[in-house]
Structure 1
Amino acid sequence: MKWLLFFCLMVSNLLYSNSDFEKAEQLFVKGNLSEAKLLFEKYLKENPNHSKSIEYLGDIAGAEKKWDEAILHYKKLRNQFPKNANYHYKFGGALGMKAKESNKFKALGMIDEIEKSFLTAASLDEKHIDSRWALVMLYIELPGIVGGSETKAQKYANELMNLSKIDGHLAKGFIDEYFKRFTKAEIHYLKAHELGNSKTTFQKLYDLYRFKLKQPQKAEDLKKKFEK
């Protein structure tokens, strides 16, 4: 009978732990990040290698702009699962956000690892959209002397086009807008909005009309049509 009691206690503890994790997930979805964090940390103490809890803690740290904390969580996942594209992407993303908030000298020293992380994610998963978006933005925003290149950015915009026409047109519109080719950007944003008709596609086109092309009437007409 002792073994049966021991078994029941084990099952009870397991169910309790699972309920903690599930409750933490629900809190995370609702945006109660501080409460979710406490439960994820508690669950992780009981299950030290639980990758999903580590990822959630990284996501919470990122949402709170605690980049060093997010980097530590994602680095652990990247090292534990070196073939997981998303972990490389999230690690690179957290590193990139830290670089943006650092001084220029420190940020320059982080560029290679950021680029490597996104490239690794893209190579591990040929359908990973987020890493390709990250590479488009990285190569556009970096100065040419440290690796920035429109040609490189266009390469990943083309890959996005093959994966998702909406993302492809948005990426190409982003590149054209960056280089102040606003008429070309409008063509891509229009195509993206025709295909997606989403808040994202609307906002890109609306902002282009209102702030870059200085065509407020077009912006308002677009808004009225979208809100119908």
Structure 2
Amino acid sequence: MKIKIINPNTTWSMTREIEESAKQSAREDTEIYAVSPATGPDSVESLYDEALAAPGVISEVIKGDREEGADAFIIACFGDPGLEAAKEVTDKPVIGIAQAAIAVGKLMAPNFSILYVLDRSQKIIENVLKLHHAEEDCCSIRSVGLGVLEFEDKEALLQALLKQGKRCVEDGAECILLGCAGYTAFAEEMRQELGVLVLDGVVPAVKLCESLVDMALKTPKKKLWAYPDAKEISGFYELIKY
């Protein structure tokens, strides 16, 4: 089994961290490889960033489907940028890390809160909750006040996550979803410190992909996620040709 992880931003240090975390959770017979697209922002923290990231995500899904033999795809950004469009260009499973975290969180706990990056990113979290029909399950969404490009100081990031995580527990959350792929390494330590379930999105996405491929499930192509019609797309042909 071959799972391709697409980090929608172009910061390769983060992509490598995501890949390492995914490999640790994958089965021995699962091949994991992570990429950043050739185009896109170096961090995804606004609706503008998400729009710019989507073409690169779609491009990498097409490449993985047509050229690399990938069996499933993970979009490793908590806004799930390009998720719906990416499902149109392949019949193989495509899962966003927010989609995976929310699905597992809803299975395992009566509610959850979400920790995300910057205050300005709140609309991204609100949109992804609506996309996955989870508004009523969410107690709160809280920003840690650190941007993606400020993650070098791991101890400062962990302390910021714990501080806001405690506030999530005070909000009544019995599960905390880590709303950035760059938080994946902190899930277990936070779980022990806070005493509630803490889920990142990368590990659940890997395990869901493995299960979907095992079941030989394909994305339906009748209506919503049918393959796109062939048409001229000025300036983007080499990026998203299919």
The answer, yes or no, to whether TM exceeds 0.5 is no
| Greater relative contact order structure (CA < 8 Å, 6+ sep) | 2
**What TM-score does the superposition give when structure 2 sets the normalisation length?**
0.25
- Structure label with greater radius of gyration: 1
* Bigger proportion of residues as strand: 2
* Bigger proportion of residues as helix: 1
**What TM-score does the superposition give when structure 1 sets the normalisation length?**
0.26
